[in-house]
C-alpha cells in the first residue's frame, strides 16, 4: 500500500499558487474595454495584451482562445444584465418610465457597468455568441421581467421585445452612432420624451 495520497483526496500540492499576480484581471479589464470599443472582430489579442502590459501569449495561456476570452467578458455581461429585473416592479401606470429610466441610467453610470453591454452590442454584428446572447436577453430575460407587471395582457413577449429593441436603438444612436441631438440631451430629459412612448407600447391598446 503506497504512502502517496489518492489523486482525488487532499491534493495539498506544492508550488506557486495560481492567480497571485492579478494579471488575469488586468487582461479581463483590458479585453472588456477593447471589445466595448471595437467589437469582437475589431479587438485583437495583441492590442488587449498591450493594454494590459503583457505578452499576447499570456492571454492565450489564461483563456485558451479569443472566443473563450470573449466568453469570459460575456459572463460578466450576464451579471450586469441581471440587475435590470429589480427595477421594473411598481404601479403599471408608470411602468414605461421605470423601464426607460433603468435602461438609460446604466449607460450614464460607471463605465465598468456599461462596457460589458457595449461590448455585447458592438460584437453582436460579427460574433454569433454575442448576437444570441443579446437575443436571449431581449426575448427571455426582459420579457420575464416585464411580463409580471402586465398580468392581464397576453402579448407581453411582443410588447417587451418591441420596447427593448427601441430602447437599444436609442443606445445605439446615442453611444455608437453619436447622433448630436441625442448626445446633447441628458438622461432625465430623454426619459420625459420616451417614457410615454414606452408606456404606450407596453400597456396601450392594440387596435386592428
Partner DNA sequence: GGAATATCTCAACGATTGTTGAGATAGGTT
Partner DNA sequence: AACCTATCTCAACAATCGTTGAGATATTCC
**b/e burial code for range 49-88 (CB count within 10 A of at least 16 → b):** bebbebeeeebeebbeebeebbebbbebbeebbeebeeeb
| From 54, 74, 134, 145, residue interacting with a copy of itself (rule: CB under 8 A) | 134
Nearer to DNA by Cβ, of 60 and 179: the residue is 60
Instruction: List alpha helices for 125-186, DSSP H.
Output: 128-136, 143-146, 156-171, 180-183
| From 41, 44, 68, 92, residue interacting with a copy of itself (rule: CB under 8 A) | 41
Nearer to a copy of itself by Cβ, of 41 and 61: the residue is 41
- Of these partners, a copy of itself, DNA, none, which one is at the site of residue 138 (CB under 5 to 8 Å by kind)? a copy of itself
Angstrom distance (rounded) from CA 147 to CA 142: 8
Angstrom distance (rounded) from CA 68 to CA 65: 5
Binding mask 30-69 for DNA (x = CB under 7 A): -------------xxxxx-----xxxxxx-xxx-xxxx--
Shortest distance, position 38 Cβ to DNA, whole Å: 10
| From 122, 145, 146, 149, residue interacting with a copy of itself (rule: CB under 8 A) | 122
Amino acid at each position: 500500500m503506497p504512502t502517496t495520497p489518492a489523486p482525488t483526496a487532499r491534493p495539498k500540492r506544492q508550488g506557486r499558487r495560481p492567480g497571485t499576480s492579478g494579471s488575469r484581471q488586468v487582461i479581463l479589464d483590458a479585453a472588456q474595454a477593447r471589445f466595448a470599443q471595437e467589437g469582437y472582430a475589431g479587438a485583437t489579442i495583441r492590442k488587449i495584451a498591450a493594454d494590459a502590459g503583457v505578452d499576447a501569449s499570456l492571454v492565450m495561456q489564461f483563456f485558451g482562445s479569443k472566443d473563450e476570452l470573449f466568453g469570459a467578458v460575456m459572463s460578466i455581461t450576464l451579471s450586469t444584465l441581471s440587475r435590470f429585473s429589480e427595477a421594473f416592479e411598481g404601479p403599471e401606470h408608470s411602468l414605461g418610465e421605470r423601464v426607460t429610466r433603468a435602461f438609460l441610467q446604466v449607460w450614464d453610470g460607471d463605465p465598468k457597468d456599461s462596457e460589458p453591454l457595449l461590448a455585447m452590442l458592438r460584437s453582436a454584428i460579427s460574433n454569433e455568441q454575442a448576437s444570441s446572447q443579446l437575443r436571449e436577453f431581449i426575448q427571455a430575460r426582459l420579457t420575464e421581467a416585464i411580463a409580471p407587471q402586465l398580468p392581464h395582457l397576453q402579448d407581453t413577449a411582443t410588447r417587451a421585445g418591441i420596447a427593448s429593441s427601441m430602447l437599444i436603438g436609442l443606445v445605439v444612436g446615442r453611444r455608437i452612432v453619436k447622433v448630436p441631438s441625442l448626445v446633447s440631451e441628458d438622461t432625465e430629459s430623454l426619459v420625459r420624451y420616451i417614457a410615454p412612448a414606452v408606456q404606450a407600447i407596453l400597456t396601450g391598446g392594440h387596435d386592428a
